[in-house]
Amino acid sequence: MDVKFKFVPSKINHNPIINKSIFFMHIPKSGGTTIDRIFAKLSVILKNFDFERFKYNLDLKKKLLLSDNNYLKPKFYSGHLDYNFCDNLNNIFKCSLVREPISRVVSHYKFMLYKLKQTPENYTFKDFINQEITKNRDNIITRHFSGLLGQKKFITRKDFESACINLNNFDSIYTFDKWDNFLSDLLSNFGLPSILYSNFQQHAYNFSFIPQDSHIQVIRKHFKYDLELYSKILLIKNNFEFKKNDIYNKNICIVSPFLKTKDSLYTEEEVKRLFKNKNEK
């Protein structure tokens, strides 16, 4: 497998956000696992915030960490959660990444084939879509933004309209194709180090699946609200851009499933030596 590393700079920020927690709403197959691993490692290294990842649970949602309003350190909350999962907590910066729905569904299908050790012939795309519908995971992006994860109901136009309104509850929403911008913006806002990363959940698939028109039409039928919501999200303006002459944080955190590193920050020279030694082995 060809492993690619990418550098994401954090702008030097003389007025960073402090004493505020982050809620990252992790929508499946939208690059969230890498975000989680980055902030989990930063929390270990910096020790000035805690990392918490939750598995969705309706009962937990109703009484989420009420005592956390008195926490001593900020936290980074993540998980496949509803938009309002942290509404009962104070000082929360809400953010999310959203992937183009057709691309997201295809990626999810391929991941499930890999996870189940199946092939497209044994576990068809139709099987996958039917299972998503049965498990109330159709229009999953809309379900996240409307607060309907885990609920056994069909998504309606009213639910979609609620999701559109709830976009306004977020401080930062980026599309998946702007993944690096999202991360750089978040790091810069909170005065965190720069990042050198390679993606998590990279898999060498031993099968081939190229979506045909019939597959895309199925997605358009069963994920129509996600497609509409995504068109709304595309209109959200994110003005962050790292320019060539911007000064960036020279402290670097390395995060990769393919390279074991110390729980510490590196200088540029240390990074160069690390990769030089790695390549010489």
What is the Cα Rg of the chain in Å? 20
Domain spans of the chain, in order of start: 6-280
3-state SS string for 167-204: HHHCCEEEEHHHHHHHHHHHHHHCCCCEEEECCCCCCC
DSSP code of 258? T
Q: Burial-class residue 280 by CB neighbours within 10 Å (0-12, 13-18, 19+).
A: exposed
What's this model's pTM, rounded to 2 decimal places? 0.93
What pLDDT, on the 0 to 100 scale, is given for residue 66?
47
Domain 6-280 CATH superfamily: P-loop containing nucleotide triphosphate hydrolases (3.40.50.300)
What pLDDT, on the 0 to 100 scale, is given for residue 278?
73
* Alpha carbon distance 49, 74 (integer Å): 5
> Residue-wise pLDDT tens for the chain (281 aa)?
577 899 999 999 999 999 899 999 999 999 999 999 999 999 999 999 999 998 876 665 545 554 555 567 899 999 999 999 888 888 899 999 999 999 999 999 999 999 999 999 999 999 999 999 999 999 999 999 999 998 899 999 999 999 999 999 999 999 999 999 999 999 999 999 999 999 987 777 888 999 999 999 999 999 999 999 999 999 999 888 888 888 999 999 999 998 889 999 999 999 999 988 777 66
What pLDDT, on the 0 to 100 scale, is given for residue 91?
87
* Alpha carbon distance 94, 224 (integer Å): 25
CA 228 to chain centre: 20
* Alpha carbon distance 51, 60 (integer Å): 17
CA 179 to chain centre: 9
What pLDDT, on the 0 to 100 scale, is given for residue 244?
80
